Structure 1
Amino acid sequence: MHSSDAFWTSAFVLFLLQCGAQSSGSTERRPRCATDGSTMRCVLEEADVFSSDPVKLGGIEGQTVDVYTKCQQSNSERFECLCYQRINASMQPLQHFEREHTNGTHTVMCGNYSVTVDEPPQRRPSVPVIKAIAIRVRFAQLVCVSEGNPRPNIKWYNGKDPKESKEEKWNRAKSIVKSLPDPNVKCCASNVLGEECTAVYYHDLDTQVDDQKGQIFLTSGQSLLLQCKKESNKDPKLRWLLNNTAISGVTSLYFRDWMEYLSIESVNVTHSGEYICKSKSNHSVNTYVKVFDNDKIDVLQLNENSSILAQNKASFCFQALVFSHPKAQCHWITPNQSKIECEETHYHPYNSSFKLCNPDPGQYQLKLDTQEYSVIRNLSLCISDIPSINVSTNSSFITCKTQSSKPTALSWKICPSHLKNIDSEDWKEIPVALSEFPDSDQFCQKKITFDQPRSHKENHLIKCCITNVAGTHCSEQILLQTNSYTEYIVCLVVIISLFMIIFVLIVYIRVKKPVYQSQIQMIQMVGPNDNDYIYIDFREFKYDPKWEFPRENLELGKMLGSGAFGMVMQATAYGISKPGVSIQVAVKMLKEKHQAMEKEALMSELKMLTHIGNHENIVNLLGACTSTGPVYLIFQYCCNGDLLNYLKSNREHFHKYLTDAFNRDRFRGLYHNFQQKRNSSEFVESNDNSHMHITPETKEQENEALLSSSISSVSTIEEMLKCDSDLQEEELQSLTYDDLLSFSFQVAKGMEFLSAKNCIHRDLAARNVLVTLGRRVKIGDFGLARDIEHDSNYVVRGNVRLPVKWMAPESIFKGVYTMQSDVWAYGILLWEIFSLGVTPYPGITVNNTFYTMIESGYHMEQPYYAADSLYKVMCHCWSLDPVDRPCFSKLVAFMEKKLAALEERLYYNVGGYSYNDIIYQNPPVTPDATLEEELQSSPENSLEPKNSDESNTTEDLGSVRPQPGV
């Protein structure tokens, strides 16, 4: 860069230049600029370049802009710097910017600082503001102004030759013409987005004396220019009056034509009224002006519900008479949702006539739009034809069937069969009462069926008749003959049919499959007791279409689970998180052969999930596919499977001695788990570390461990993206006591969220909790895809299979499910977690003895890996009286306190490690062993006495009644 006064010129469309970082509340800086019309020269001072306030340079389209920047050298000499454009990370001289290449924004380098060029969005021209201005005595000009981006082009119609346009801003155009006595003058502004026009309202007292010109309609903010003209050798003293009040105007004389202008640049509703132009000879012409606050659309005439005969279809048209200001765009929307532009048959100022001819039967819509307002009207067309009538008979009834538009009358006609010459008077008519008939597949057509008991007294002829808008039509006559044995046969058939129906009902009730119902349910309390509640029925709730996801962007993969009602598939969703990004998801769907009520239940579950909302410890809904195909519910995909199998598969990696975990993973595993909780958990409070004695070597190891942690608190989308990557291979294999506490805490947080939403789960267990990266757990509902017939955890009780080992007594014996029954199940889940996946009540068969034990208050023994305080929490959850069980918010607080204390002790003892509260060790791995078998290890493997601090941590849960044991 030279030190001399060098500058560099760039020709481009410059709408907005901002230099430096923009912040809220910053003020604009204006550099020194000068222009000669075609070129603008601006100098950026050192203060402009180095300031954080924005610098704005305003230019005009097509204008050349010279930008000078001043920098400072080391020897304090000042010199001019050049501007460069950054293109693909390389520096190039700034060139002319073509609109299609800028994409609205580009960056220019001025010295070491960047300048951003922003192009405002395009917009169509504003409605031109037109007014009359007095240049000198008795001489006026008309001015027309409009704004838009790109800058509008102004054109006058009816022979007006505009003077040179004058631009006041980059987006503003202005045009001036002479005042002439020309009728039908209008000014129009146009750009690539459209055209807007404003007319001069012309009145001639020589031809319209004592005449009404008509009405003028305007919208608030538009301009009004009235022109009154009279030919005279002398001044006729023209003046304008509004509601008989004189208003000053602008007078102009062109030869012998005297003109009086009334200009209002921006009208409002107060300018509505009668405007009168008068001369001194009392000649006058008047017009009415109506100003609307907003755009106005009125449908004046419309044949909304039409019913015609089939032979008249070709000549039928929907017709509409519409008043609109400004003129509205019109479209017909057909029954198949296609859009047809309206055919305008007539247009009188502000009134338009539209029609649609030879339409097919069905529901239509008329859609009228202005820029600010829209109106939709519904129409329908019903076509009636001569119906085809079918008559059938059996031993008891005669049945008439047909398809027709809504009938006005139905009847049977009967005639004796012995008559040889039958006249119309011989037919006896039996009217049939009209009722509600079901719709057919064809629009407005009904499926009409009615019966007549059969008479066996004598032979006779019979036919049925129907009357609709097409007239009265009858079926072919049929002959009915008597049969002496008919009544007995009918009775026998009825009796046999009745027995068969009863038999089928009995078989159906016995083998009836239960219909699908979501395990998670939202309840509404209806009484003073906790047991007085109802399930909220979401069938009548509206589905929010914002959750709809394009079916074509979903690629199904392998099956993750299958049950009696449906399945869960792994899938890839393209663009569900953000455009251009694909993630792995889980898709919940019904099986191919399903009942309508099961689909309705799945849609109810979808509406309930959208109503509940998202939580980090719930398997959250991401979207759904509900139209043109089977219903898909799209959920987060948790790549580590369910918690039960996760605990079982990681038993051999569990460390009860923290030193083992340190030695195995060289600090990385344990710090990985704890640091992740420190970053992501809401409950860990900052502790005073003044009492911690950590050697420099230990501190260096700690820092190294913290820096090597690759997973911190991640959002839901990031979590799913990582499940798609190879980061699963980096998941640490060590499983420690704090992981079990973390699982317990996260499940409690998820259930606290559900209970706050008045939701009950009804099947809370480790098999229904999923594990994803970072050992984050999420509560799910897998009732649709769980094979309960082959799952030993679900026991037949009555006509259903229930997970009785996880159910509270009131749920087993009374069928009552509440938040407190979920607390009981949470206690069972804690037992599963701290036994590393052992089935609850090991060695106990579910039979009458088991139910008696539950009723009497039996509690399972303390699990092998649980501290005394945690076992006390389990016993609180298993209180027979639901009132004595803790709520989930207290359980969250307890687990939060335990995790915080454990982490504090870990950091306290990390230098020379000793940990007396909980002694860890590697137990023998027996995947399917019972609890008693796991406790038969050597004496040194038993739990040692717990610290007194830990035994007191249950005080937060409140008093608990002692529970008897069996």
Structure 2
Amino acid sequence: MQFRQDTLLRVFLLLVFSSLACSDTLHQIDVRDGDVQRLPCVLEKSTLKCHMSEANIESSQKTQLEVVPGQMVEVHLRSNSSKDSMQCFWEHRETSNLFLFKFFEKGMDDIYTVVCGNRKSVNVSVHIHSTETRPSVPELTTVRGKKYESARFRCVSEGNPKPTITWYENEKHRSQGRMEISRTEKGVAESKMSSLEYSRSNIKCCAKNSHGEECSYIYHYDLDTGREESEASEIWLRRGQSLSLRCKVTGKPAMPWYFNNDTKLTGLSEQSYEKQLEYYSIASVSQNNSGEYHCNSSHGQRKAVKVHVFENDFLKKLNLSKHITIQNKDRKGFCFRAEVPSHLKAKCQWVMPNGSIVPCEETQHLSAVSTFTLCDPEPGQYQILLRSGREFTTGNMSLCVTDLPKFQILHDLTHVTCMTKSNLPVHISWMTCPSNANYNDTSAWKETYTDSPKGTDSGQFCQKTIVVSRPLSDVNDHFVKCCWRNNNTDSHCSEQILVKISSVNYFFLVGACILAWILTSVLVLFLFIRKKKPGYETQIQMIQMVGPLDNDYIYIDFKDFKYNQKLEFPRENLELGKELGSGAFGMVVQATAYGISKPGVSMQVAVKMLKEKHQAVEKEALMSELKMLMYIGNHTNIVNLLGACTGTGPIYLIFQYCHYGDLLNYLKNNREHFYKSLTDAFNKDRFRSLYNNYQRKRNSSDVVQSGENPYMPMSPVNKEQESLLGSTDVNEDFFESGDEEDHQTLTYEDLLSFSYQVAKGMEFLSAKNCIHRDLAARNILVTRSRLVKIGDFGLARDIENDSNYVVRGNARLPVKWMAPESIFKGMYTMQSDVWAYGILLWEIFSLGVTPYPGIKVDNTFYAMIERGFKMERPYYASESVYKVMCHCWALEPQNRPCFSKLVAFMEYQLSEFEEQLYYNVEGQKKGDSVYQNTPVIPESQEIVKEDEHQSSVTDSPCGTETADSENNMETITYL
């Protein structure tokens, strides 16, 4: 179907007026729930644990997190393939360190980076609620009771929602007993408890709401006993918190509490049966309250505690074991230990020797001091990362494991050598015994030489390899052993004893060694000559069938083909620029070519060349590639050859320069510009860009269907230009040299257009009996006007460091794009390129996601491919496009469609899209639903089902098809 110019203009104006008339409705659609994804979170104790999926990381949607002031947040990543989850990390902006948690307070609204597995990161927009809050740290004091009643513990906390109060004794929850609730103000919770309910140990009061929990203590000291483990020797508080102390003695009067030994404090005394209790409370401490508090009895018993009051959050390291050396026998059960006083409660993580990060295990928390341990560590360097609120500190530790030295004594024609390992400065002494003596007699051994070597790295932490040598003549006709002695006078000798070396067989050994050296050299040289060094070859190859079977073919060798001198371009007219890509064999650079299109006009080009140090066979391979490309010819959707420099100097192959780089990165970079709704695109101030895009595509697609050149200029082209570039490419360059704007609006039609253009280019190559062998989005280039071109970048791709290329046998291959027959049999045909085209379609309609996401290339992956595993439909693909992908992935090559059918299918999809667009716009009225940019294809016109597919391929071989527009419906049924 063809659109006339006036019809297109009518469509454009209708959409503009519709968007103005229905602005309220469109505004509501603009803020769909799908624009923002909120992280689901669950509060566990005082930490908010949030979960995200792998789809969240790869999505272009914004991720939002809502928290309250004082909130600690952890993020976990759920796997798509299992119920397991892994810990994510918050990235610290100043230090680039990674932390398992993040503490948020008022005013910290910002965008933060979260890193999950293999450095996958996502930006999270954090919003701090101003209306809801966590509970405040409870104010816990002791007050007098009513007449004839015991004292009362009073606990007050404020929060929104209003907190609930819970009482504990020695960290164990107790029933509320005679609890009194006397405060009814909004957001304020108050609870009182009789002191007789808790008279034997520490008391804890905790306030909790839906955003967290905070606790305060009454610290208990018993004068009748020695120092108990539960009795805090130091207390750390932040300014404004409460301090409550209690002293107990049985049958003896207790003395009041004292401050810094001399100041008597006024507290509260209470007697219960034979027990005497002294209380002292401060509702809100300041730094002046820092010091030592103690209580005494009249008989001299005394208990004391040091109180530290800090202005803000604090964090210290105490008793940090830094550098430890242990014997191997003591290694089992060894633990690193760190005691950390802090407020708020410290969070901790270990950085392991291999760089991984694991959370710390907290073994004890008492009086604001946390004890963290790491047990059974491997030898190596460790780091502990500690955080409390906004305070942050680190500490370094190391573990060295030693053992009795093990010796190895060797000798050659000239020297005797002793080797061992040690972690300390050592001395090596040589012990010798005459050959005519009894070496079992310890008195026959004498120390003859002593060395103090420095040693070299052994590859084992803190162990040095010690190597010492002596001339063989020094120990000839002697038994030899070596001994080790460190600075602590510890010593140990080798059990190995070197058999004496006699001068009688010395010359025999010399001759034998020389002969062995000669034989080894000859063998190495022979293997080196036979070993074929892998060299450069182009990915695109032309094949020639040599048998009745489809897999009987050979690669055509263009080495002896004649080079057409018309392609030669003056080297002095080429100005090389920046590097675009580099690999093991060569590179591609951007350049300016003067006069390559017409005299006096410069043009941006890409130049392919070998690296300076290259082999003669690689130069020959590049010349063969030049001749092959010359033989293949030019096409709009191929990165075409423009010229070459083959004279004196390096060989340059000059290609078209594509402005936007490869298609993979183009899709990734423009994800945020992809619009599911055409009206949505119009509503975002893109009237002119979308109109220009659509008009340009419409005009080009009309011309394509008519069989004409889509970018025919309005000026003549001389014969010299045609012979150099081909008329198609001159026209193309003319179009690109115009004053065209960079329109970034990306729609579903663009994805269809990319797919159609690649199919056209592959149809051209297959018609020339050419196979690509590495068809993927990274090897497709995008130039102006959204024109895509198939390229070959094997020379300039660093496959050693590209994760898409996996070691298979003795080569690195793009396994996720390869057909089964290519993976398992090393066979490449046009139909294996069809498989890769299906993978490319999946890349395009997922906007650049790596195929088989989350699946590692291993034996399990290969087994899945052999069983016929197919990826699920990508998010932006229609059902009909997905069916084409599945047909491309047929296990049997003959069951896959050929490129002429794929061209016809994509061409039909584009025309259906335009027809549907016209239908929706013409029929749209005020209040109608917004047109969604996914083509709706009548069921009768979709690709036939799987059972119909088999027979259609058998009945209609690819070689008999055409892609004429009038036969589109018939061609579609072949698929």
* Both structures adopt the same fold (TM-score exceeding 0.5): no
TM-score normalised according to structure 2 size: 0.41
Q: Which structure is larger by alpha-carbon Rg, 1 or 2? A: 1
Whose RCO is larger (CA < 8 A, sep 6+)?
A: 2
TM-score scaled by length of structure 1: 0.42
